[in-house]
Amino acid sequence: TVVNISEQSFTKAVQFTVTTVPTDVWNAGINLTTIQPISNGDRLLLVFWAITTKAPNNTGTGNFEFMQNATPWNKYVTMEQRVGTSWKMYMLPFQATADLPAGSAKFSVELGVAVQTIQVAGVNVINYKQAYPLTSLPAQSNDEYVGMEPGAAWRAAADERIEQYRKANLEID
């Protein structure tokens, strides 16, 4: 479903609601096919935004990939990503290892890993050709997990164990 978004740099998102976990993760998601050709050796940056609106422990999970659109389905970048309850941007640099005519590659979102609702927006694949080294392109995954917040309940007990088992007085003669 396409939904309206406010207070972001984009105004629309695609909302995925998975009500039953399918046999294959790729049976719940979407594919966005390229409209421009890509050359072997081109360095690209996949950029998208995502948010979870409903999931176990408020953390959604999906596979986000850029891949061939036909057999042998070569993947140029793939990321299994946990998605939290606030909008975050993801940036994945990669390099094409084959010529890919327009329509022969795709951005794939696979969400068939859990009953969940995730929104994805602002999808772009920027082709820098060979102007920059791959290592100079930004990367950002923003991986989420339950309890990652600074005040999470588990942290106090962990701090106590660190004090007890990992710290001691040191005397230097």
Q: What pLDDT is stored for residue 143 in this prediction? A: 63
Convert the pLDDT of each residue in 83-112 to its tens digit: 989 999 999 999 999 999 999 999 999 999
Convert the pLDDT of each residue in 159-172 to its tens digit: 888 888 888 888 89
Q: Which tokens belong to 45? A: 């940056």
Q: Which tokens belong to 173? A: 């003669």
Dihedral-angle region of residue 122 (phi above 0 means left; psi in -120 to 50 means alpha; beta otherwise): left
Q: Which residues, 6+ apart, have CB-to-CB distance to 72 below 8 Å?
A: none
Convert the pLDDT of each residue in 104-149 to its tens digit: 999 999 999 899 999 999 999 999 999 999 999 998 876 666 666 6
**Stronger pLDDT, 42 or 152, i.e. the higher one:** 42
φ, ψ for residue 159, nearest 5 deg:
-60, -40
